[in-house]
Amino acid sequence: MSILGSIFTWWNGATWGTHLGLRGKTKMGTDSLGNVYWQGGKDTAGNPRRWVIYNGANDASRVPPEWHGWLHHQVADVPDKSLPPPRRWEKEAAANMTGTSFAYRPRGALEEGGRRAAATGDYEAWSPEG
């Protein structure tokens, strides 16, 4: 990203003001996507403030579930220390694919041709006379 882009465009990543605001805060860790998690200061309820600096575009669906729990104070310590290791049947978290060619489109969706199965016998259309 260009220098001017990093100064003025928050939607492409953290701005310089954000990085300046990290002075005196504690880096808590990074996830598999390269997002960096920070903690420092207190909110009005006395809880520690926690936030994420995204690696790339600001998209909340790119925060893995374990770090989402940490950000929202569901676990006290970072996920590496407080959560059990992942089970072999668990899948990796996937980013939100809405708006991309990989988005889920059920049969009958306009993007899939707009044709859906005919209504079955359990459907009866409502009419105001009946």
Is there a contact between 51 and 3 (Cβ–Cβ < 8 Å)? no
| pLDDT, mean of each 10-residue run, the chain (130 residues) | 58 62 82 89 88 83 88 88 86 80 82 71 77
Residue length of the chain: 130
- pLDDT at site 72: 92
Q: Which helix (H) or strand (E) holds 82?
A: helix 79-82
- pLDDT at site 88: 92
Percent of the chain with pLDDT over 90: 8
Determine the 3-state secondary structure of 115 from DSSP.
coil
- pLDDT at site 5: 59
- pLDDT at site 130: 63
Residue among 30, 26, 75 at smallest CA distance from 53: 30
Give pTM, 2 decimals.
0.61
Q: Which helix (H) or strand (E) holds 8?
A: helix 3-8
